[in-house]
Structure 1
Amino acid sequence: MDKTVETAAEAVADIPSGVTLAVGGFGLCGIPAVLLQALLEQGAGDLAVVSNNCGVDDWGLGLLLQERRGGRGAGGVTGSYVGENKESARQYLSGELEVELTPQGTLAERMRAGGSGIPAFYTATGVGTQVADGGLPWRYASDGQVALASPAKEVRSFAGRDYVMEEAITAEFGLVRAWKGDRHGNLVFRASARNFNPLVAMCSRITVAEVEELVEPGELDPDLIHTPGIHVQRVVALTAEQTAAKRIEKRTVR
């Protein structure tokens, strides 16, 4: 039952190229920065990345995209926001990166559904727009024309209202960051760092968690556990230096 792994490098060593990788975090809050750096050094590429956003240019997922690790062949990036990463925006607009933009709540539910064994669901979000009708640019050509657009989705009426069908998301590997975790893989997230991390753990076949504080089994209050260990296969305890290395996405002063 002890799921701890000594180093982040060891934890991501078997992630191959060409797989779907789900990554937790919102902006720079709660991102598994240590595992992402280890994956960058490991060399896996052509990854289909599923994440709420692409981070910033020089941190987290931004580093992988900067090195062209998110590939068109594997599906590029599925997320809801890419506005803070200039390099990913440049790659997308120049036809180097495929991006499937999904409404944020829909993205969360697609991941939750994937982890719950639900293949698809209906939602009102996106009805009457290109989300449902198709035509959203997924990939541009080098001349700026749309090379690949999103397909139309099934729309059905329930109780007099239209809903669009969205398919669930599953991933071969998932990377998350937790505030506390035990050796059985039970995780607790702190405040807004909870964001997409539990959903990533649910929808991924193999979830790797970096934890700021590793505790022994039984030390976590069962009522306060956000992600049970059944969803987590590997746990990496961070050093004090790694824990402290958190960046601020936008610094504002009075």
Structure 2
Amino acid sequence: MTEYSGATDPDRILPLLWRRKNVRRATTGRPPRLTVDQVVAAGLAVADADGLAAASMAQVATRLGVATMTLYTYVPSRAELVELMVDEVLGSRRLPGPGEERPAHWREQIHLYADRTIAMYREHPWLCQVSRIRPPLGPGMLRESEYVLSTLSGLPVSSRNTAAVTITMFVTAAARQEGENAQLRRTSGESNDSWWGRLWEDWFDVEQHPAMTDLWNAGGFDRGPDQQAADAFAYGLGLLLDGIERQAQSSETTGLRSSPMP
């Protein structure tokens, strides 16, 4: 079942998403038993172990050893908790910020983003169950946008954001597929090779699928579904970056901003 971020009350979720920017420490009174960070970490631990549906307020409270109602002191509802969990995971990629060390070449910078995004979905496959059509407007999400845009600073303003969104869409789609694969392997205990093997061995009709049969006989399917998916991603990302690079070089010849893309 898909869950949607972006449907919560902005006045409630934004201060929580940006809680580390505006830290307020109480000078009097009894110190709080928990922190929002602890509640989010507990939610992540439950979701990583047992799936997103298991990350109820009751289960998170049990993990923290408190009554369920205690959590509502820190997070208004489960919807806000999920948004906080998503943004926390987005930020966990540790994409380099302004002034921080990063690969020298812009293509290597994009590959770093892609590798860490795919690893994120493998580690947290429940992310596939959360739609990011309206992502949580927190620091994790903005760090991603800032990083990808910063790698494309040499493109014309008219196309820079379009290129960044295209890269993000392509990488995220592949990463979500990887997360779905990880989730299926966890729940079914069956590999993709085994699942596809049933079709090839028992039901595949060579006369109705001559193109696939020719490719099969030529060894085109020898690498297996998982490796084919990895090959397809590398192939597609390479073509996408080639196109962006050609646009940047064209911009140089027409007098637009010089590109940092060697």
Interval containing the TM-score (normalised by the shorter chain): under 0.3
Structure with the bigger percentage of strand? 1
Task: Give 1 or 2 for the bigger CA radius of gyration.
Answer: 2
> TM-score scaled by structure 1?
0.26
